[in-house]
């Protein structure tokens, strides 16, 4: 049975990969200052025979920075040697799945919010709740995303975030100023958003071609689900075992479709073929855009100082009673086969707390350890957006997600064959909402039934 599960896991990982962002894992006992070296939680690991830990991480862009962290840990723990290997996605998940099937997982490895439930279900990652209870002061961490890495049956954590991300609304301040539109504020509504989007949709030379849309989106999870949650909606049933959109979710999807086909303030996704979705906002082709805050770095790199921009809440739908921010972590897990779990936890604890370097989370990934996130270095007051502290305010509202075993498959994250593909059929005017959701429900539940049989 276990081999069968591992086969399913390996197949899923090879087909469906995840980029998700944000950070993982607790660290040592909190130090007096975020930049001050802290004492490892498992100080006893410094005594005894030398231990070697294998560590896999998934972002080659930060390999040099991460190696410096590893070196720092080894200096503080001279009897623990860490062998780090960096593998970029999608190869990371393919290789990790192969190692899992061979019973040769590294002790510590990067874990994604989209896959953690599946790895827990297959018994591949260690329950670390005992370590968390012993060493972690919850007041020092952004705990709103902890539920994403918990075992849904026991409530115990099986990974620890080093950072997390949220979806936000990006807006072009210069475009707002030119149109005389007030900037978005907390509590703003769909009606206010629509009014702004209409005023910000421009055909500058009257040739019938829109030069600047008010908004842009397609069927991607980070561009769609925030609207559902800000209308008090859900795409899954309460147990998260079946795809079952409620009325509020359907209302949110219908509103998004109306932005394209009724009000003309957003383009059909196919109209923008050949332009990367993440570049439409920094290239000035849309005045507003909802996506993950990690795009702060991309906007800086692409737009430079060509216009002023900021971040804001996703507008509230008519059913909302308050804000519900869509956020999730990137984490570190310990393999259930790890022979040195105490040392592995000491390493995770070191890599996610006061010693966490800002480089790995610059831009919009938020360090899970609050003192680091509140530092001037992270808030980057000398760069855009000039209100980056909003990320920390928005973190107070993190809550719902759709992450489940098989998420990448039923969501269509990689190739659009699942829900993403059906939503794009709606937004491209190929099919209607009812038909698309019927098709999505059939596909999604065929996946979820494998993990949650009747």
Going from N- to C-terminal start, the domains of the chain cover 2-165+328-386, 166-325+404-451
Q: What is the pLDDT of residue 23?
A: 35
Q: CATH topology for 2-165+328-386?
A: D-Maltodextrin-Binding Protein; domain 2 (3.40.190)
The tens digit of pLDDT for each residue in 312-324 reads 999 999 999 999 9
* 45 torsion bin: left (phi>0), alpha (psi -120 to 50), beta (else): alpha
What CATH number labels 166-325+404-451?
A: 3.40.190.10
Per-residue pLDDT reduced to its tens digit, 162-205: 999 999 999 999 999 999 999 999 999 999 999 999 999 999 99
Q: What is the pLDDT of residues 327-364, one digit of tens each?
A: 999 999 999 999 999 999 999 999 999 887 766 666 78
As given in the structure block, the two tokens for residue 293 are 């805050």
106-110 average pLDDT score: 98
∠ CA 7-9-13 to the nearest 5 degrees? 120
Topology agreement, domain 2-165+328-386 and domain 166-325+404-451: yes
- In whole angstroms, give the CA distance from residue 269 to residue 242: 28
Q: What is the pTM of this model?
A: 0.86
Using the predicted structure, report yes or no on whether residue 76 has a pLDDT greater than 90.
Answer: yes
């Amino acid at each position: 049975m276990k081999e069968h599960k591992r086969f399913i896991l390996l197949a899923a990982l090879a087909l469906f990969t995840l980029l998700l962002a944000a950070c993982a894992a607790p660290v040592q006992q909190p130090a007096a200052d975020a930049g001050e070296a802290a004492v490892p939680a498992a100080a006893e690991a410094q005594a005894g025979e030398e231990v070697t830990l294998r560590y896999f991480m998934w972002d080659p862009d930060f390999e040099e920075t991460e190696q410096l962290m590893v070196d720092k840990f080894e200096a503080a723990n001279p009897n623990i040697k860490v062998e780090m290997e960096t593998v970029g996605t999608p190869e990371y998940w393919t290789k990790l799945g192969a190692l899992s099937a061979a019973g040769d997982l590294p002790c510590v490895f990067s874990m994604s919010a989209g896959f953690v439930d599946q790895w827990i279900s297959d018994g591949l990652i260690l329950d670390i709740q005992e370590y968390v209870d012993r060493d972690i002061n919850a007041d020092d961490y952004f705990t709103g995303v902890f539920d994403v890495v918990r075992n849904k049956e026991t409530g115990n954590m099986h990974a620890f975030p080093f950072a997390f991300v949220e979806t936000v609304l990006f807006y072009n301040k210069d475009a707002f100023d030119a149109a005389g539109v007030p900037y978005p504020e907390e509590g703003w509504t769909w009606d206010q958003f629509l009014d702004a989007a209409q005023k910000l949709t421009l055909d500058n030379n009257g040739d019938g071609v829109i030069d600047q849309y008010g908004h842009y989106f397609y069927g991607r999870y980070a561009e769609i689900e925030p609207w559902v949650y800000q209308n008090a909606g859900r795409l899954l049933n309460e147990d998260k075992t079946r795809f079952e959109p409620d009325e509020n979710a359907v209302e949110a999807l219908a509103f998004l479709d109306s932005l394209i086909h009724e009000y003309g303030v957003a383009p059909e996704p196919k109209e923008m073929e050949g332009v990367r979705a993440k570049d439409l906002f920094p290239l000035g082709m849309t005045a507003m855009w909802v996506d993950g805050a990690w795009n702060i770095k991309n906007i800086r790199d692409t737009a430079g100082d060509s216009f002023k921009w900021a971040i804001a809440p996703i507008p509230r739908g008519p059913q909302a009673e308050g804000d519900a921010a869509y956020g999730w972590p990137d984490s570190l897990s310990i393999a259930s086969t790890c022979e040195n779990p105490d040392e592995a936890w000491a390493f995770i604890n070191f890599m996610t707390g006061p010693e966490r370097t800002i480089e790995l989370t610059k831009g919009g990934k938020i360090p899970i350890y609050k003192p680091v996130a509140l530092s001037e270095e992270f808030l980057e007051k000398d760069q855009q957006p000039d209100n980056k502290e909003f990320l920390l305010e928005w973190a107070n509202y993190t809550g719902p997600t759709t992450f489940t075993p098989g998420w990448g498959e039923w969501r269509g994250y990689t190739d659009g064959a699942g829900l993403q593909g059906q939503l794009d059929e709606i937004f491209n005017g190929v099919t209607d909402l009812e038909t698309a959701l019927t098709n999505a429900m059939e596909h999604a539940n065929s996946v979820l039934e494998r993990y949650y049989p009747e």
